Amino acid sequence: MSRTLLILAILLSCLLYPYPANPSNQGEIKIVVSIYPLKDIVEQVCGKKVMVDYMVPPGASPHTFEPKPSDMKKLERANILFLIGGGFEFWADKVIRSLSKKPRIVVLSRGLSLLKEHSHTHGTEEIFDPHIWLDPLMVISIVERIRDVLIDSDPSGRVYYTQRSEAFKKEILKLHSRITESVKGFRIREFVTFHSAWNYFSKRYGLRVIGTIEESPGKEASPVHIARIIEEIRKSKARVVFAEPQFNPKAAEVIAKETGSRLFILDPIGDPRIRGRDSYISLMDYNLSILEKALK
């Protein structure tokens, strides 16, 4: 009888105070990132051990995003804030200064070789292209930085974070191989994009962006700029224009119609609500499938 009572007591204790599968998986670390693809990249490294949230909502443009009070609370609860940097999160400095409790800020583009922006300038200040996540090989460096930050914040998870990061890096290299092999068969290698998101991708895989419809982040193209893009297309062999789901496609449609170009949709941000664009790898495979339709 006493043995039965002991067993029942142990079972009751387990129900009331369950021992965690991983002692460090207590939810102490809360991470916020700026955009959805970065959320997935972080989660590929941290798995279920860490809570990860993101700022820019699905379907919105990160170039016009304005944080709400709920976003501020999200940041104040965070331990780490991962940013792309390079001016991409134009809202970040002001928002961070206003926080009563500040997370650790990690700028993932720091230390990487960034491309200079030629489409717009701010006086004598050099402006860099921040769209590094669209180059898979640069994402490998991002993954390694995320791994190191997680290990620094949670040393007990070193083996776990290392194993997951290595597995994800292998998937990224497979993605890189798929893109490299596919691009070999592209008949067209020049095109127009909606904004300057695809320069790293194009440089990595031997393609060329001959013009961008958006003159500067968040600014609609002027008639003069549209006329310039139309002239560039007519001078080149390119007859392909790429719009993006986060932006109004009207200007892209006008340019495509005026030049007899075909119009396609590339997605640099992805969307957790859309199957096939709800992870970094699937998003890049989606974009590769669109490029294959447009350029082969």
pLDDT tens, position by position, 64-112: 899 999 999 999 999 999 999 999 999 999 999 999 999 999 999 999 9
Q: Work out the pLDDT band at 22, boundaries 50, 70, 90.
A: very low
Predicted local confidence at residue 116, as pLDDT: 87
Phi-psi category of residue 107: left, alpha or beta, with phi > 0 → left and psi -120 to 50 → alpha: beta
- 9/165 Cα distance (integer angstroms): 41
- 242 touches 199 (CB < 8 A): no
Report the C-alpha gap between 110 and 229 in whole angstroms: 32
Which alpha helices (H) appear in the chain, and where do they start and end?
2-16, 36-46, 69-77, 92-98, 136-153, 158-183, 199-204, 223-235, 250-259, 280-295
- pLDDT tens-digit series, residues 162-201: 999 999 999 999 999 999 999 999 999 999 999 999 999 9
Quote the pTM value: 0.87
Residue 124 is predicted with a pLDDT of 47
Q: What is the DSSP string of 195-216?
A: STTSHHHHHHTT-EEEEESSSB
pLDDT tens string 118-149 = 554 444 456 899 999 999 999 999 999 999 99
58: Cα within 13 Å, side-chain hemisphere: 8
